[in-house]
Amino acid sequence: MKRANRFITILIFIFLYIPMAVLIVASFNTGKDITQFQGFTLNQYARLFQDSGLLKLLGNSLIVSVLASFIATAFGTVAAVGIHNLNPRMRKAAMTLTNIPMTNPDIVTGVSLSLLFVFVGTQLLGQRNSLTFWTLLIAHITFNLPYVILNVMPKLKQMDSSLTDAAMDLGCTHVQAFFKVTLHEIMPGIVSGAIMAFTMSLDDFVISYFVSGLDFVTLPVEIYSYTKKPLHPKIYAMFTLLFLLILVLMVAMNLIQLYADKKKTASHRAGM
């Protein structure tokens, strides 16, 4: 049974990562046909960094991702603390509402936000171009919030509430206790939520497609138009770099969680 489980697991990972392996190999191929490896080269990466258009699109995606993840992390952390302090029934209801945006299809979320932004922009604000950089940023913050909340909530449950009470007994206000005690205890969850929000925002296409305007376009939305014709190999190089960036962030997130768990275990043993 164990061998069968291992075989199935390995098979799943093969199917998951073979497409990425093909893409990475193609980014180093001298030819344009990905079915034939004609030789090793780094020219595609050199051409990528010489393409100001693609670099601008990548910069747009990074700007939106960094801003959206930062704002979503700040609001999501505060929301998680508020939900944690609710009574059990209200907390369950709040978490159910939090989970709905993640289970909702992206296309439904994208169309809904687009209709909302167009209505507010044209009917209430009288703007002709309702979809701008700000609508894109608001949309990214919106779908990132649940991921931050879900990463912070477990850390709040694991935290010893007596630490906050002790801080307030020693003269701290609620705000001071939050920044000096609570924030320190839940920081691994905050960092994990920020990293997940960044990765989700960086590669989002469906929602971005419906809420972005002509003045500010992200890389995934522009790449969609490239798929209607043969892709240039330098696009493979960009995909490879993005994959490596996401891989490094996910490894960092797991290491942070591992370090936090070890630290928590060590503190419990010391207390015993």
Instruction: Tell me, yes or no, whether 62 lies in a domain.
Output: yes
Residues spanned by the domain of 219: 54-267
Instruction: Give the whole-angstrom CA distance, residue 196 versus residue 201.
Output: 8
Q: How much of the chain exceeds pLDDT 70, in percent? A: 92
Instruction: Give the whole-angstrom CA distance, residue 74 versus residue 68.
Output: 10
Q: Report the pLDDT value the prediction gives residue 80, as an integer from 0 to 100.
A: 92
Give me the number of domains the chain comprises: 1
Instruction: Tell me, yes or no, whether 58 lies in a domain.
Output: yes
Residue 202 burial by Cβ neighbours in a 10 Å radius (0-12, 13-18, 19+): buried
Instruction: Tell me, yes or no, whether 86 lies in a domain.
Output: yes
CATH at 97: 1.10.3720.10
Instruction: Tell me, yes or no, whether 147 lies in a domain.
Output: yes
Task: Quickly state the pLDDT bin for 272 (edges 50, 70, 90).
Answer: low
188 vs 73, which has greater pLDDT?
73
- Nearby residues of 30 by Cβ (< 8 Å), 6 or more positions away: 38, 39, 40, 41, 43
Instruction: Tell me, yes or no, whether 73 lies in a domain.
Output: yes
Instruction: Tell me, yes or no, whether 25 lies in a domain.
Output: no
Residue 190 burial by Cβ neighbours in a 10 Å radius (0-12, 13-18, 19+): buried
pLDDT, one tens digit per residue, over 103-149 is: 888 889 899 999 999 888 887 777 777 888 999 999 999 999 999 99
**Cα angle vertex 104, ends 102, 110, to 5°?**
100
Instruction: Tell me, yes or no, whether 21 lies in a domain.
Output: no
Instruction: Tell me, yes or no, whether 233 lies in a domain.
Output: yes
